A and B are shown apart, each in its own frame.
Chain A
C-alpha cells in the first residue's frame, strides 16, 4: 500500500466519524437528534472552540506546561529506571530481596498517589512530574533489568574472550543491550509520561491540557471537553512521531520488521 493511499484512508476514517457525529448531533430524526447536543456537542462547535483557543494563543501555554511536565517525568523516570535496573541486574541478591516491594509498588494504581503528590509537591508542575515518574520508572526499569540480565551469553563470552574487563563489558555489551531494550519501549515510556502529566493536571492544577479538560467538564461545557481532547490527541501524535524519528536514529543497527520478511 502506498503512503498516499494510507494517508487518504486514514483521513477518510476521520471524515466518516465526524460525519456520523455531525448528522447524529445536528440533523433531527423524528424531532430529536440521535446524539443530544448537551452530551455530544457538535463538530462545528468543537472546531470553533479549538479555533478560539489558538486565536487567543492561551492554548500554547497549556501545551507548553504539559510538555514540560512530560519531558521532566520522562528523563527523571528513565534515569532512575536505568540506574536501578542496572543495579538490580548486576546484584541478583539485591534484586531478590527487593523483589516483592518492586512488584507491590508497580501493581499500585498510580492515581491514588496523585493527591499525596499534590500534598508533597504542591499544585505546580512537580506533583505532575512525580506522577509521571512513577509510571515511566517501572517501564524503563523492567526493560533495562531484563536487557542487562538477558544479554546474549555468546556475545558476552565472545567479548570476554576478546579480553574485555568489567568496564569495557559495561560499555560495549551491557549498556547497548540495555539501551536497545529501553528504546524499544520508548513509545510506551513517553506515552506514560504524558498520561502522568495530564492525569495529574486533571486531578488538581491551574494549567495544562488536563486542567483545560477538567475545567470544561466542571461547567458541563462538552464542546470544551472535546476540544481539549482533540488538542491533546494532536499533541500525542506529534510527540509520537518525534519519538519514531529519534528511534530510527538510535536503533539504526536493528533489523526493521519489514526487512526481515
Chain B
C-alpha cells in the first residue's frame, strides 16, 4: 500500500487531472522567489477520490489552485488529457477561505451559480432551495453570509459548487469548521452524491480519519518549502462506506498508523521550520 510516488490506476481513458513534474513558485515583495512545491506528479482518474494530507503551509491549497488554473506553474497540467490553459472550466472549486458573495443571501449565492449556464432564474432558485435542503440549511435561505456560522457558510459554498454538477471537484478542507458529527454527516453526504455519478475528486484535509474514510488514495506531502508528495496510500476499504462503521475496522487503524508514520515527521519538521524562522 505505501509505495513512494507513483501514478494512478492504469486506465485507457485520460486522467481527469494529471500533474507532471510541476513546480510552483511565488515571487515575493523583495523580488526573491519562494518555491512552494516541486516535482509534483499526481493524477486522478475519472471517478477517483483522492485526498491530500500534509503539514500546514506545505502547499496543498497551492496545488488545488494550480489544478483550477488560478496560479501559473512550471511543468505540465492536463485535464482530461488536454493541457490546461487559463481557468479549469470543468472543475468546481470549494475554496478554503470564505468565498461567498457577502451581498447575496444563501439562496441567491447558490442560485447564481447556475446563471452562467443560462438556467432561468425561477428554475435556478428551485434547484438552489433543493441543494440547500440537502446540506441541511432549509431554514437559512434568506440569511446573508455574515449571519451564518462558519460551518453553515461552508455548506452553502458546498451547495454552490455541487449545483453546477462539475466533472471535477476540488475541495480545500471543506468541513474544516464543522463539528465532528456534522463533519461525518457531510462526509457521508458527499460520498453518496459522489457514488451516484462518480466525479473525480481532489480533496484536501487536515483530518486523517476523514482522508481515509473518503478516499481511494491518500497522498502525503512533505513540509515546505519545496514540498513534495512523499507517500501514497491506496485505501482498499470496501465501498459503499458508512464512515462511522468503517472507523471501527482493524484495516482502518492499520492504514491510519501507516499514514501517520509518514506524516508525523513532516508535521514536526514544519513546526520546527516555522519556529526557526526563515532560513
A2-B52 Cα distance, complex, nearest whole Å: 54
User: Residue on A with the closest CB to B143?
Assistant: A253
A229 at the interface (CB under 8 A from B): no
A164-B114 Cα distance, complex, nearest whole Å: 10
A165-B89 Cα distance, complex, nearest whole Å: 12
Residue among B70, B97, B144, B160 making CB contact with A252, cutoff 8 Å:
B144
- B152 smallest CB distance to A (angstroms): 15
Q: How many residues of A contact B (CB 8 A)?
A: 21
A161 touching B68 by the CB < 8 A rule? yes
Interface majority SS (helix, strand, loop, mixed), chain B: loop
Given A157-B70, A157-B95: A253 in contact with B164 (beta carbons within 8 A): no
Q: How many residues of B contact A (CB 8 A)?
A: 29
A253 touching B93 by the CB < 8 A rule? no
B239 at the interface (CB under 8 A from A): no
Instruction: Identify the stretch in A59-67, A137-145, A172-180 within 8 Å (CB) of chain B at 4 or more residues.
Output: A172-180
Q: List the B side residues contacting A32 at CB < 8 Å.
A: none
Residue among A160, A163, A177, A180 making CB contact with B164, cutoff 8 Å:
A163
A5 at the interface (CB under 8 A from B): no
User: Residue on B with the closest CB to A175?
Assistant: B103
A158-B209 Cα distance, complex, nearest whole Å: 28
Q: List the B side residues contacting A252 at CB < 8 Å.
A: 144
Q: List the A side residues contacting B157 at CB < 8 Å.
A: 158
A172 touching B146 by the CB < 8 A rule? no
A161-B70 Cα distance, complex, nearest whole Å: 9
B92 touching A161 by the CB < 8 A rule? yes
A168 at the interface (CB under 8 A from B): yes
B144 touching A173 by the CB < 8 A rule? no
A104 at the interface (CB under 8 A from B): no
User: Residue on A with the closest CB to B65?
Assistant: A157
- A50 smallest CB distance to B (angstroms): 43
B115 touching A253 by the CB < 8 A rule? no
Q: List the A side residues contacting B93 at CB < 8 Å.
A: 157-158, 161
A163-B113 Cα distance, complex, nearest whole Å: 8
- B167 smallest CB distance to A (angstroms): 13
Residue among B88, B101, B115, B146 making CB contact with A155, cutoff 8 Å:
B101
**Chain B residues numbered 79-113 whose CB sits less than 8 Å from any CB in chain A:** 87-89, 91-93, 95, 97-105, 112-113
A161-B112 Cα distance, complex, nearest whole Å: 12
A163 touching B89 by the CB < 8 A rule? yes
A132-B209 Cα distance, complex, nearest whole Å: 64
Given A160-B87, A162-B160, A172-B112: A254 in contact with B101 (beta carbons within 8 A): no
Name A residues whose Cβ lies closer than 8 Å to a Cβ of B. Answer: 154-155, 157-165, 168, 172-173, 176-177, 180, 252-255
Name B residues whose Cβ lies closer than 8 Å to a Cβ of A. Answer: 68, 70, 87-89, 91-93, 95, 97-105, 112-113, 115-117, 144-146, 157, 160, 164
What are 22 sample pairs from A and B whose C-beta atoms fall under 8 A apart? A154-B99, A155-B100, A157-B70, A157-B95, A158-B95, A158-B100, A158-B157, A160-B87, A161-B87, A161-B91, A161-B92, A162-B112, A162-B113, A163-B117, A163-B164, A172-B104, A172-B112, A176-B103, A252-B144, A253-B104, A253-B146, A254-B146
